[in-house]
Structure 1
Amino acid sequence: MSVLATATGIVRDLGVPLPGRGHYDVRGKVVLITGGGDGIGLALARELHGRGAVVALTDIDPAALARAGTELGSRVHTFVADVRDRVAMEAVVRALSTETGGLDVVVANAGVTPPPATLRQIDPEGFDRVLDINLTGVFNTVRPAIDEVVARRGHIVVVSSAAAFAPGLGGASYMISKAGVEQLGRALRLELAGFGASAGVAYFGVVDTRLAKATLDDDALGAELEARLPRPLRRRITAEQAAEVLAGAIARRAGRTLAPAAWQGWALLRGFVNVVADGVLAADRRCHTLIRELEARGSRP
């Protein structure tokens, strides 16, 4: 492979628009967003609705969906559905296609951030719940929509996390789920490319949502675990900032997008950085103490 071809591939993976790729205008397009009642999902719905899109939101919270529908007014469809329910997600796609005439963009955003726990400590049902929502839920969202997206040469975004490639003490179930989402998105991108449709993976560091606050702010050990990250990587972005990043990624059909930018170096050099980071953390006595404290807390009645 030539140097030029290699450089072009790197730029494409970074989500930088290449000459001739053009701009994907969401005006009039039908966009399905899971987890649309709150956080990043709702912020993205506002952003894309403001750009003229028809937005369809799914969530398990009917009250949140009702508020979102009232706020957005026209060009909005809401569906109460759990991404773990494969039949329900298939029904959402069918109903949306019937109501709007088709589906152009899918954003598989729904996810949960579990309380800190080790693999020895976590309840197996809690582990299954995280993977069922964060990973299998993405499959359940994307799979029934692929034919629609291909037919309309649209775009799919799966929301992963910097946790997919960075070590996270006490967060193995979340890391595993987001690493799986990353690979699902990469595979999907390759599968859709030959049909004129596209897909991409979005990675975020810490987004200041209700879920993040409950895990990292309201939980003393969660806050201490976060403090083990270098200061630049602890920088938080708002749900609105994350939504702007996602909207921009859709507009340029990005194969990959990441925010905040401080994570970029780690993401690109992960093969080297992770070898060093894993060794350092495994030898860090403070990390040993935090894990013991976490497991001791979990063993209390």
Structure 2
Amino acid sequence: MTRQLALTGAVALVTGGARGIGAATVQKLLAAGASVAVVDRDIPADAIKCERVLLLAADVTDSDAMVACVARTVEKFGALDIVIANAGITPPPATIRTVDKSTFDAVMAVNFGGVLNIVRASADEVVTRGGHIALVSSCAAFTPGMGGAPYMVSKAAVEQLGRALSIEFAAVGASAGLAYFGVVDTDLARGTLDDDPVGRRIGELLPWPLNRRLPADRAAELLVRSVRTRRARTIAPAVWAPYFWLRGILNPVLEWKLARDRTVTALIRDLESAR
């Protein structure tokens, strides 16, 4: 396995590739000379159409559909070198007691189950090519999850999957890595943190500079760079990196503080009273 992964002539597959981070990532992969399979539950009418793009309407929670997407990608382009497991959803703010079970299950099915499905469907092809799989986790994987536990739990599960996959792939000549993003400025984030009144209150609990929003284009640039260099982890914005490394020290202190914070207490009580 060469350390650098050439993108010119490579074949990539991106889940959640029709919008947000995924769409920006597809654009950058194409600009770098790769061919790309775009997997999304809904393919918009204005999606990129060219010889180096394969549009695949499929749901990542359907494991058979992910196997079919990989097969169609290999059939069209002859190989599969890169997978970016990006598809994800966010639930409306709720506590663990008040969140609807179907909502919690749906978040886990997409954010973790969808990643697992595409990893299992594509792993043999990627290993054969000595390629790379990038899993999109989140800084939410290592921060307190009040009001958004389904999302935090799902992204923490992706983190552990990615860490295991990285070790296992190293033994067979391929590589895997994780991307941890803070708040990325996408429709998904805006719908949760701007359009929802309680979501705005949760977002305001993040102090500067942790509340800085990362443009989707910048997240895509970092994702593509992480694939090219086979990075084990990418953390952005960079101000989150100390939190990542010191989480074992910071989280117990932060959890103690949040449990006693009047603003947080009022927020949780409002969420509880809404059920």
Instruction: Give the TM-score normalised by the residue count of structure 2.
Output: 0.98
Matched, 1:257 2:234: yes
Q: Which residue of 1 aligns with 2:201?
A: 224
Matched, 1:281 2:242: no
Partner residue of 2:26 out of 16, 28, 45: 45
Q: Which residue of 1 aligns with 2:168?
A: 191
Look up the equivalent residue of 2:138 and give its one-letter code: S
* 1:69/1:77 contact within 8 Å kept: no
CA RMSD between the two structures: 1.2
* 2:3/2:230 contact within 8 Å kept: no
- d(CA) in 2 for partners of 1:252 and 1:170? 36
Indicate the SS of the match to 1:56: strand
- d(CA) in 2 for partners of 1:21 and 1:279? 46
Query: C-alpha displacement at 1:22, in angstroms?
Result: 4.1
Query: C-alpha displacement at 1:21, in angstroms?
Result: 6.6
Matched, 1:142 2:119: yes
Matched, 1:93 2:70: yes
- d(CA) in 2 for partners of 1:67 and 1:191? 39
* 2:63/2:121 contact within 8 Å kept: no
Indicate the SS of the match to 1:246: helix
Look up the equivalent residue of 1:67 and give its one-letter code: D
Query: C-alpha displacement at 1:45, in angstroms?
Result: 0.2
Indicate the SS of the match to 2:89: coil
Indicate the SS of the match to 2:91: coil
Query: C-alpha displacement at 1:231, in angstroms?
Result: 1.2
* 2:17/2:40 contact within 8 Å kept: yes
Q: Which residue of 1 aligns with 2:273?
A: 296
> How do 1:1-301 and structure 2 match up within 5 A?
22-62=3-43, 64=44, 66-70=45-49, 73-297=50-274, 299=275
1:224-245 deviations in Å (ceiling 9; x for gaps): 1111111110000111010001
- d(CA) in 2 for partners of 1:110 and 1:200? 16
After TM superposition, the runs of 4+ consecutive aligned structure 1 residues lying more than 4 A away are none
Structure 1 residue runs without a partner (length 5+): 1-19
* 1:69/1:76 contact within 8 Å kept: yes
Q: Which residue of 2 aligns with 1:11?
A: none
* 2:13/2:38 contact within 8 Å kept: yes
Look up the equivalent residue of 2:66 and give its one-letter code: M
Look up the equivalent residue of 1:222 and give its one-letter code: G
Structure 2 residue runs without a partner (length 5+): none
Query: C-alpha displacement at 1:284, in angstroms?
Result: 1.0
Instruction: Give the TM-score normalised by the residue count of structure 1.
Output: 0.89
Look up the equivalent residue of 2:25 and give its one-letter code: L
- d(CA) in 2 for partners of 1:262 and 1:231? 10
Query: C-alpha displacement at 1:144, in angstroms?
Result: 1.1
Look up the equivalent residue of 1:46 and give its one-letter code: Q
- d(CA) in 1 for partners of 2:181 and 2:216? 10
Look up the equivalent residue of 1:180 and give its one-letter code: A
- d(CA) in 1 for partners of 2:241 and 2:163? 18
